[in-house]
Amino acid sequence: MHAQELLHKMTLEEKAAFCSGRDFWHTKAIERLGIPSVMMCDGPHGLRKQEGEGDHLGINVSIETVCYPSASALASSFDRTVMTRLGEALGYECQAENVAMLLGPGLNIKRSPLCGRNFEYFSEDPYLSGQMGAAYVKALQSKGIAACAKHFACNNQETRRMSGSSQVDERTLHEIYLPAFEAVVKDGKTRSIMCAYNAVNDTYCAENKMLLTDILRELWGFDGFVVTDWGAVKDRAGGVASGLDLEMPGNPDALGEEIIKAIQDGTLSEEALDKAVLNLLNFVLSSWEQRKPDTKIDREACRQLARKLSGECAVLMKNENILPLNTEESVTFIGEFAETPRYQGAGSSHINVPHSVSALEAAEGRSVLYARGYDAHSKQTDPHLLSEAVNAAKKVDAAVIFAGLPDAFESEGADREHLRLPDNQNELIAAVAAVNPRTVVVLHGGAPVELPWLDQVPALLCMYLGGEQVGSAAVDLLYGSVNPSGHLAETWPLRLEDNPSYLNFPGEDGIVTYAEGIYVGYRYYDKKKIAVNFPFGHGLSYTEFSYSNLRIDKDKITDQESVTVHVDVTNVGRITGKAVAQLYVRDVKSTVRRPVRELRAFDKISLQPGETKTLHFTLDKRSFAYYEPKVHDFFVESGEFVIEIGKNCRDICLSQSVTVEGTTQIPFTVTRTSTIGQLMKHPKGASFIQKMTGSSKGPSDEEQAAAMGEGSEKIMQSMMFEMPLGALVSYGRMTAPQLDALIASLNEQPNDTLSEADKQQ
Measured between alpha carbons, how far is residue 384 from residues 373, 426, 518 in Å? 8, 16, 49
The C-alpha atoms of residue 595 and residue 580 are separated, in whole angstroms, by 22
CA atoms within 13 A on the CB side of 268: 28
Chain centroid, CA 262 distance in Å = 37
Alpha helical stretches, state H, 573-663 = 621-624
Rounded to 5 degrees, what angle do the CA atoms 106, 111, 117 make?
45
The C-alpha atoms of residue 419 and residue 538 are separated, in whole angstroms, by 19
Question: What number of other Cβ atoms are within 10 A of residue 437's Cβ?
Answer: 13
Using left for φ > 0, alpha for ψ between -120 and 50, and beta otherwise, residue 266 falls in left
654 closest CA partner among 618, 615, 622: 615
601 closest CA partner among 635, 556, 550, 638: 550
Task: Report the helix count and the strand count for the chain, using DSSP H and E.
Answer: 25, 29
Which residues, in sequence order, are bridge partners of residue 300? none
The C-alpha atoms of residue 13 and residue 5 are separated, in whole angstroms, by 17
Measured between alpha carbons, how far is residue 678 from residues 77, 113, 555, 626, 674 in Å? 48, 42, 31, 22, 7
The C-alpha atoms of residue 133 and residue 494 are separated, in whole angstroms, by 29
Burial code (b: 16+ CB inside 10 Å, e: under 16) for 366-391 equals bebebbbbbebeebebbeebbeebbe
Provide DSSP, 186-215: HTS--SEEEEPSSEETTEEGGG-HIIIIII
Alpha helical stretches, state H, 695-733 = 701-708, 712-721, 726-730
Measured between alpha carbons, how far is residue 287 from residues 98, 205, 717, 753 in Å? 10, 26, 68, 50
Measured between alpha carbons, how far is residue 561 from residues 183, 584, 631, 637 in Å? 20, 18, 20, 14
The C-alpha atoms of residue 487 and residue 23 are separated, in whole angstroms, by 41
Phi, psi for residue 362 in degrees, rounded to 5 = -65, -25
The C-alpha atoms of residue 590 and residue 605 are separated, in whole angstroms, by 34
Of 229, 415, 476, 603, the catalytic one is 229
Question: What number of other Cβ atoms are within 10 A of residue 265's Cβ?
Answer: 9
The C-alpha atoms of residue 397 and residue 388 are separated, in whole angstroms, by 16
- Contact call for residues 120 and 345 (beta carbons, < 8 A): yes
Three-state DSSP class for 624?
A: helix
Q: What is the dihedral of CA 446, 447, 450, 454, to 10 degrees?
A: 70
758 a catalytic residue = no
CA atoms within 13 A on the CB side of 600: 29
* Residues labelled catalytic: 229
